[in-house]
Amino acid sequence: MKALVLNQDFRPISVCSIQRAFVLVFNKKVEMVASFNGHKFHTVDNEYSIPAVIRLQCYIKVPYRSVELSRKNIFERDNHTCQYCGSKKDLSIDHVIPKSRGGGSGWKNLVTACKACNARKGDFTPEEAGMPLRQQPFKPSFLMFLRDYIGFKYEEWKPFLTAG
């Protein structure tokens, strides 16, 4: 589980581990806005709610938050599905335009591909290989990423992901 971090104005700005959220709440660095229903953290003497949404005490300026380009996030964007055949197994990252052909390493040239498709496509473009993409790869915005790819997992986050 992860905690959603809100700015003082309730806009989502980040995500952190629940361990970290718990420490921040415990040390009164942040306010707990929502907790995970039905989950408690037990110590010998006490039980604590597990923070699902926390809010900073002070407003911080966040100019633009982009989604970190990583293997994991590309898989998330592509719904853990091979963008060529739809398989959900043996996933890897494919350069749509191969590196050897000058293809870049950004959001728009990287897609999730199963190892079989990746091998079959080799050093070809999708057109040359006759392997059309199921969707054009795109760069997700941070809020969209939270909402569509991570937020849906947690009911507790939903009320805070509607803005923007």
Query: Which residues contact Zn ion by CB under 5 A?
Result: 82, 84-85, 87, 114, 117
Query: 109 vs 141, which CB is nearer to Zn ion?
Result: 109
The 2-6 sheet, strands edge to edge: 12-17, 2-6, 47-56, 30-42
CB of 114 to Zn ion, least distance (A): 3
Per the listing, tokens 């070809």 go with 124
CB of 93 to Zn ion, least distance (A): 12
CB of 85 to Zn ion, least distance (A): 3
Query: 49 vs 92, which CB is nearer to Zn ion?
Result: 92
How many Å apart are CA 15 and CA 142, to the nearest integer?
11
Query: 134 vs 158, which CB is nearer to Zn ion?
Result: 134
Query: 9 vs 123, which CB is nearer to Zn ion?
Result: 123
How many Å apart are CA 91 and CA 18, to the nearest integer?
28
Q: What is the dihedral of CA 23, 7, 162, 71, to 10 degrees?
A: -70
Give the list of residues 6+ apart from residue 152 with CB closer than 8 angstroms, or none. 158
Q: Give the bridge partners for 3, in sequence order.
A: 16
CB of 116 to Zn ion, least distance (A): 6
Quote the DSSP letter at residue 152.
Answer: G
CB of 75 to Zn ion, least distance (A): 13
| Count of Cβ atoms closer than 10 Å to residue 162 Cβ | 10
Query: 18 vs 117, which CB is nearer to Zn ion?
Result: 117
